[in-house]
Amino acid sequence: MTTAADPLSQRLEGPQPAVEIARDLARRGVLVAPVIIGFGAIFWGANGAASVGYALAIVVANFLLAAFMLGTAAQISLAMMGAAALMGFVTRLALIFLAVMLVKDLSWVELVPLGITLIVAHLGLLFWEMRYISGSLAYPGLKPRPGRSY
């Protein structure tokens, strides 16, 4: 007689698609950083460029932290992964709020480009990444590219 394992106590083993996707998002963020920082410099000067760069660093760190939390929790149990997804979102929003509040009164901070970059970079990188995410269980994470071995 076999007993079915509790799905909530099962853990995921093997590759972590969330980490792979977050690394790809971070890579794309670094690729577009010079252009976005350039826009900040054009419209708000050196302070705008610094604010945009800071916001991009927050966005990339947010994606990497989310992936780390999900990947680590998935190795413990699926229930822990669900908890990390729910509570991690609130925690990461609080960290973004804290990161902005800590620098908002500094001389180099321009709040308008900082806020615009936080919102647009989060959404823009996610929409850009949608083109590269696999919807197949055969290749979880990123779509396979020609010449890429698995």
The full set of domain ranges for the chain reads 17-130
For 96, counting Cβ atoms within 10 Å of its Cβ (0-12 exposed, 13-18 middle, 19+ buried), the class is middle
With a cut of 60, say whether residue 4 has pLDDT above it. no
Tell me if residue 65 falls in helix, strand or coil.
helix
Q: What angle do CA 138, 143, 145 make, to 5 degrees?
A: 115
Q: Name the pLDDT band for 2 (thresholds 50, 70, 90).
A: very low
Distance CA(35)–CA(50), nearest Å, equals 13
pTM: 0.84
Task: Over range 96-106, report the average pLDDT.
Answer: 97
Task: Over range 53-80, report the average pLDDT.
Answer: 92
Nearest to 109 by CA among 36, 6, 40, 62: 40
Q: Is-contact 106 48, C-beta < 8 A?
A: no
What pLDDT, on the 0 to 100 scale, is given for residue 122? Answer: 94
Q: Is-contact 132 141, C-beta < 8 A?
A: no
What pLDDT, on the 0 to 100 scale, is given for residue 79? Answer: 87
For 75, counting Cβ atoms within 10 Å of its Cβ (0-12 exposed, 13-18 middle, 19+ buried), the class is middle
Q: Name the pLDDT band for 59 (thresholds 50, 70, 90).
A: very high
Share of the chain above pLDDT 70, in %: 87
The residue behind tokens 């973004």 is: 96
Q: Name the pLDDT band for 96 (thresholds 50, 70, 90).
A: very high
Cβ atoms < 10 Å from Cβ of 98: 10
Q: Is-contact 83 15, C-beta < 8 A?
A: no
Tell me if residue 85 falls in helix, strand or coil.
helix
Q: Which residues face 124 on adjacent strands?
A: none
**Which of 37-51, 107-121, 129-143 has the least mean pLDDT?**
129-143
What pLDDT, on the 0 to 100 scale, is given for residue 26? Answer: 93
Mean pLDDT of the chain: 87
